[in-house]
């Protein structure tokens, strides 16, 4: 119900554009640091691990392809979403939870404002929108991390690395990698807002809601990832 109302609010007045932009700043710009760091180190370690295996078959030059496919289709969206879930689902649950237990949500309703419109819709919109771009950034930085390993440790030609990384990607791979963050953003925001607005029992209740939001959002992301991947494989054909 909450997620449905959160989305349906987008198609009727009033819309809180200022709140949406503020949430985009908090969720998107605020998560840049952890997303960049996570993407870089994931790409780097992926290059390191895959090179170790590929070298056994004399296929070290495929490192760029492997990093590219893994980051764009799977690790970029999933790890970025998990990082954003850890940072923002908890933030939403604790912020809205504090508002709930101090009667600020009731006060908002009493003042004639719909909390789902004022609080949930901006977070939902901002998370879905910003996670899309954060994932693109994470993919790029991950490939850069892989290229650093390829250059410094594997002594691969950078031009060859980037060319193979680029050429191996198909539209279906990119589509799969970019549809996921939109779905995961929806999960993060609805779970965070739901647990926040359901918080009971003072500060202890807020703490409990925060923990539950991160755990549930993370597990849901991983579970939905499996089903979405399978579904997209069926819909888009063998990848």
Rule CB under 8 A: which residues touch other proteins? 14, 98-99, 102-104, 106-114
The Cα–Cα gap between 78 and 183 comes to 11
The Cα–Cα gap between 115 and 194 comes to 12
Q: How far is the CB of 85 from other proteins (least distance, A)?
A: 23
Q: How far is the CB of 27 from other proteins (least distance, A)?
A: 16
Q: How far is the CB of 16 from other proteins (least distance, A)?
A: 10
Q: How far is the CB of 112 from other proteins (least distance, A)?
A: 4
Nearer to other proteins, 58 or 112 (CB): 112
DSSP of 18-48, one letter per residue?
HHHHHHHHHHTGGGHHHHHHHHHHHHHHHHH
Tokens of 204: 């202890």
Q: How far is the CB of 124 from other proteins (least distance, A)?
A: 18
Q: How far is the CB of 100 from other proteins (least distance, A)?
A: 11
Tokens of 108: 């908002």
Nearer to other proteins, 32 or 107 (CB): 107
* Peptide bond connecting 227 to the previous residue in cis, omega within 30 degrees of 0: no
First to last CA, the chain: 35
Select from 39, 10, 23, 7 the least CA-distant residue to 141.
Answer: 39
Q: How far is Cα of residue 34 from the mean position of the Cα atoms in its chain? A: 11
Nearer to other proteins, 38 or 98 (CB): 98
Within 13 Å, how many C-alpha atoms sit on residue 84's CB side? 41
Nearer to other proteins, 124 or 149 (CB): 124
Nearer to other proteins, 177 or 196 (CB): 196
Helix (DSSP H) and strand (DSSP E) numbers for the chain? 12, 0
Q: Tell me the Cα Rg of the chain.
A: 20
Nearer to other proteins, 96 or 213 (CB): 96
């Amino acid at each position: 119900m909450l997620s449905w109302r959160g989305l349906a609010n987008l198609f009727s007045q009033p819309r809180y554009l200022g709140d949406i932009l503020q949430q985009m700043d908090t969720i998107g710009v605020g998560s840049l640091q952890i997303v960049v760091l996570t993407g870089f180190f994931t790409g780097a370690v992926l290059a390191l691990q895959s090179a170790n295996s590929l070298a056994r078959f004399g296929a070290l030059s495929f490192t760029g392809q492997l990093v590219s496919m893994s980051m764009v289709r799977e690790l970029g969206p999933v790890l970025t979403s998990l990082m954003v879930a850890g940072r923002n689902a908890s933030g939403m649950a604790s912020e809205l939870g504090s508002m709930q237990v101090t009667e600020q949500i009731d006060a908002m309703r009493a003042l004639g404002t719909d909390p789902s419109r004022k609080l949930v819709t901006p977070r939902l919109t901002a998370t879905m929108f910003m996670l899309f771009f954060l994932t693109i950034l994470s993919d790029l930085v991950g490939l850069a991390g892989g290229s650093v390993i390829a250059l410094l440790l594997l002594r691969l030609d950078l031009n060859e690395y980037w060319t193979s990384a680029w050429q191996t990607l198909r539209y279906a791979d990119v589509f799969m990698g970019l549809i996921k963050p939109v779905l995961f953003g929806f999960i993060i925001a609805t779970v965070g807002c739901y647990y926040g607005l359901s918080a009971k029992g003072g500060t202890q209740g807020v703490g409990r809601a925060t923990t539950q939001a991160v755990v549930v959002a993370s597990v849901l992301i991983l579970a939905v990832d499996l089903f979405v991947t399978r579904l997209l494989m069926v819909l888009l054909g063998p990848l």
